[in-house]
């Protein structure tokens, strides 16, 4: 998709940087109102995580069409082996590699492959610091949103978001141990 949708064939879509500004502010909201059970590693690095997420948001600027919510349940494998990408309400324009990173986040959540090996292979031309920073932004989003009150229309969504928060935090720790 990164190749086929660069430049974006859909003009006028919002940019991922403007649309994700609130989401990537998750660490800021946590810093302002930290939960009592906040992970000690996170607590000791909140200022740095806020800066990292800001950097990550800036790194997402670009001119490619993004799905911006790419994960296993939005991929349908056809009988001929091709893949159909469905459920596009979050389509945005941005950095071509962001969907690949989000897919790596989903792969990490469910296991089976080392996300580092996937990023080395599929994101080899992307600046390593940009990948780490974008991962920090995604992790801050999941960590913050998972602590919100239950969503009555989606009763399992907070548990799913908590699992993603734990998974992305584990990966972020491995990428950014200091």
**72 inside domain:** no
117, with CB counted inside 10 A (0-12, 13-18, 19+), is exposed
**56 inside domain:** yes
* pLDDT tens for each residue of 132-170: 999 999 999 999 999 999 999 999 999 999 999 999 999
**7 inside domain:** no
Residue 14: pLDDT band with limits 50, 70, 90: very high
* pLDDT tens for each residue of 61-99: 999 999 999 999 999 999 999 999 999 999 999 999 999
pLDDT for 137 equals 98
- Count of domains forming the chain: 1
Task: Check whether 130 has a pLDDT greater than 80.
Answer: yes
* Residues spanned by the domain of 37: 16-64+95-175
Average pLDDT over residues 98-126: 93
119, with CB counted inside 10 A (0-12, 13-18, 19+), is buried
Task: Check whether 11 has a pLDDT greater than 90.
Answer: no
Task: Check whether 49 has a pLDDT greater than 80.
Answer: yes
**77 inside domain:** no
């Amino acid at each position: 998709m990164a190749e086929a949708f660069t430049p974006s064939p859909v003009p006028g879509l919002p940019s991922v940087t403007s649309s994700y500004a609130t989401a990537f502010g998750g660490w800021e909201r946590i810093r302002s109102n930290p939960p009592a059970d906040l992970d000690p590693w996170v607590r000791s690095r909140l200022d740095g995580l806020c800066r990292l997420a800001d950097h990550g948001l800036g790194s997402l600027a670009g001119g490619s069409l993004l799905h911006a919510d790419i994960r296993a349940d939005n991929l349908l494998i056809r009988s001929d082996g091709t893949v159909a990408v469905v459920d596009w309400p979050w389509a945005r324009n941005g950095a071509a590699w962001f969907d690949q990173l989000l897919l790596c986040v989903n792969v990490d959540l469910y296991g089976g492959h080392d996300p580092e090996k996937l990023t080395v292979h599929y994101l080899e031309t992307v600046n390593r610091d940009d990948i780490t920073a974008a991962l920090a932004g995604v992790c801050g989003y999941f960590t913050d949103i998972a602590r919100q009150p239950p969503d009555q229309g989606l009763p399992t969504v907070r548990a799913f978001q908590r699992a993603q928060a734990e998974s992305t935090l584990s990966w972020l720790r491995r990428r950014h141990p200091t």
